[in-house]
């Protein structure tokens, strides 16, 4: 089983979709780098991109065309200034010139060079795309096909899997294996995961990297809680997080995200307001995601709000005094649980519906919260199972192909379910549980295979066909 790092599950990127935006972005980046490595960059005169399956059907709403342009331009989703995300594609659309790899200008008219194959799906995955490069005479000099398999992961067609040189001290493919390592070492989940992470980087680097992940989450929530307006895409969805935030009325002044969090920690709020804060945090993230903002895939963009919202609940509204080390441990647990779902099922809505996104993120958050609040490894994994069990069969039917309705609200639901699942597990004896996380993951995958394609991020079923709207993809 391919080793998966926590940093593979929690990536910094740009919205609105990990499989439809971040994945195609990375695929386009890989294509021009392959051209350069083969010495073909200087003779490349034009490039064409082909989008298939779900990438075609919901590509415009998910910004797939924008991602392809930015990837070919050599822009990095982790560092690109957010205001440039839509500015650069607009300029290309006007000038019909693209700086391939940020160094080689080629003629590029997006309306002709990006082709949406709405009725064709490639055999390898629902999210398929291909690139072609041509010389000045119009001869094909390079072609490559890629699959965006969820969470920003990309696989190239025909590329043999290379043996990974990373050897983990505790190779984990299932929840039972993780539990066995914890039991044998009398260790918490985060301790086992940290030992594995040190196969890639030092403990200091792991800590620094995860705190950066938290900083991006925190800044994203802060922006979302203080930004109003209409979300892009033509669906005319109004941002709501800022209005909810203002109605909740924080009792102290602040000027940045860190001061804002410290203010929240000092709040003594009643249960009903805690529920509103959780929804506010989750929706703030996904409103930013829908606006092509910088977020953390956790494990996907469409489900990016669940883990930050639950982590904020842990930090601000529980009796535990949460320090930076606790945040690092929370993210270690969440990332590992996500990797187990990826290995045993899928984190791609195009393959498994929204159970693969919101369901997985809710399970990740539930396990992390349960262990953070003092639960045993078995209780943490039980929390993950409870959270996923009540997302089984959840479909993905984005209206207009946009990651807005029902996606934004759905993140708040996933966060609340995660907190509920953690609290149930903390009051339970896992030895008496009738369903184990591994069986739940197996069931999720079987459900995904049985689910009709129209409910897998194609906008061909559910709410997407029952709501009358006027957007480009309808």
Percent residues over pLDDT 70 in the chain: 98
Interval 384-416: pLDDT, tens: 999 999 999 999 999 999 999 999 999 999 999
Would you state the pLDDT for residue 470? Answer: 60
Q: Is the pLDDT of residue 272 over 80?
A: yes
Least confident among 156-170, 174-188, 323-337: 156-170
Q: Is the pLDDT of residue 298 over 90?
A: yes
E strand spans, 56-185: 97-100, 104-107, 114-117, 127-134, 140-150, 153-156
Would you state the pLDDT for residue 473? Answer: 42
Interval 305-339: pLDDT, tens: 999 999 999 999 999 999 999 999 999 999 999 99
* Spatial distance between the Cα atoms of 17 and 6, rounded to a whole number of angstroms: 19
Compute how many other C-beta atoms are within 10 angstroms of the C-beta atom of residue 66: 25
Would you state the pLDDT for residue 165? Answer: 85
Instruction: Give the mean pLDDT of the chain.
Output: 95
* Spatial distance between the Cα atoms of 288 and 404, rounded to a whole number of angstroms: 10
Task: Give me the mean pLDDT over the 106-121 stretch.
Answer: 96
Among 216-225, 247-256, 464-473, top mean pLDDT goes to 216-225
* Spatial distance between the Cα atoms of 409 and 276, rounded to a whole number of angstroms: 12
| pTM tops 0.95, yes or no | no
* Spatial distance between the Cα atoms of 95 and 107, rounded to a whole number of angstroms: 9
Task: Give me the mean pLDDT over the 454-471 stretch.
Answer: 87
Task: Give me the mean pLDDT over the 103-115 stretch.
Answer: 97
* Spatial distance between the Cα atoms of 142 and 145, rounded to a whole number of angstroms: 11
Would you state the pLDDT for residue 193? Answer: 98
Pick from 278, 364, 283, 361: nearest CA to 316:
278
Q: Which domains does the chain have, with CATH numbers?
A: 12-156 (3.30.1330.90), 175-466 (no CATH)
CA distances from 343 to 77, 295, 312 (A): 25, 24, 28
For residue 204, give every residue at least 6 positions away whose Cβ sits within 8 Å of its Cβ, in sequence order, or none. none
Would you state the pLDDT for residue 472? Answer: 46
Task: Give me the mean pLDDT over the 430-454 stretch.
Answer: 97
Task: Give me the mean pLDDT over the 367-389 stretch.
Answer: 98
């Amino acid at each position: 089983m391919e080793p998966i790092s926590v940093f593979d599950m929690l990536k910094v990127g740009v919205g609105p979709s990990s499989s439809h935006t971040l994945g195609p972005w990375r695929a386009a980046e890989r294509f021009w780098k392959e051209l350069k490595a083969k010495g073909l960059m200087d003779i490349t005169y034009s490039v064409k991109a082909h989008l298939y399956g779900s990438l075609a059907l919901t590509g415009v709403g998910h910004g797939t065309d924008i991602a392809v342009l930015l990837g070919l331009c050599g822009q990095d989703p982790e560092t690109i200034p957010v205001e440039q995300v839509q500015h650069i594609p607009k300029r290309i659309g006007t000038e019909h010139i693209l700086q391939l790899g940020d160094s080689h200008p080629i003629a590029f008219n997006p309306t002709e060079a990006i082709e949406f194959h709405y009725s064709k799906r490639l055999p390898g995955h629902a999210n398929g795309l291909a690139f072609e490069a041509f010389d000045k005479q119009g001869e094909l000099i390079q072609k490559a096909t890629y699959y965006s398999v969820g969470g920003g992961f990309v696989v190239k067609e025909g590329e043999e899997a290379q043996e990974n040189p990373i050897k983990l001290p505790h190779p984990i493919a299932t929840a039972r294996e993780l539990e066995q390592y914890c039991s044998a070492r009398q260790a918490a989940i985060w301790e086992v995961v940290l030992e594995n992470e040190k196969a890639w980087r030092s403990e200091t680097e792991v800590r620094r990297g995860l705190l950066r992940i938290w900083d991006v989450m925190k800044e994203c929530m802060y922006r979302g809680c203080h930004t109003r307006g209409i979300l892009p895409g033509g669906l005319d969805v109004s941002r709501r997080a800022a209005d909810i935030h203002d109605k909740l009325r924080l009792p102290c002044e602040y000027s940045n995200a860190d001061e804002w969090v410290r203010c929240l920690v000092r709040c003594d709020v009643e249960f009903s307001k805690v529920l509103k804060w959780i929804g506010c945090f989750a929706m703030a993230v996904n409103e930013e995601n829908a606006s092509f903002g910088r977020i953390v895939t956790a494990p996907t963009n469409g489900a990016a709000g669940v883990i930050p919202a639950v982590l904020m609940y842990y930090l601000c509204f529980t009796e535990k005094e949460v320090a930076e080390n606790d945040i690092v441990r929370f993210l270690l647990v969440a990332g590992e649980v996500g990797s187990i779902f990826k290995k045993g099922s899928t984190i791609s809505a195009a393959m498994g519906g929204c159970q693969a996104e919101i369901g997985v993120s809710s399970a990740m958050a539930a396990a992390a919260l349960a262990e953070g609040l003092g639960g045993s490894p078995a209780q943490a994994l039980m929390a993950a199972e409870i959270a996923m069990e009540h997302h089984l069969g959840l479909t993905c039917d984005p209206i207009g192909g946009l990651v807005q309705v029902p996606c934004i609200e759905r993140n708040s639901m996933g966060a609340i379910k995660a907190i509920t699942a953690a609290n149930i597990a903390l009051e339970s004896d896992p030895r008496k549980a009738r369903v184990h996380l591994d069986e739940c993951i197996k069931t999720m995958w079987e459900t995904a295979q049985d689910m009709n394609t129209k409910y897998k991020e194609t906008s061909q079923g559910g709410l997407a066909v029952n709501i009358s709207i006027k957007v480009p993809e309808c």
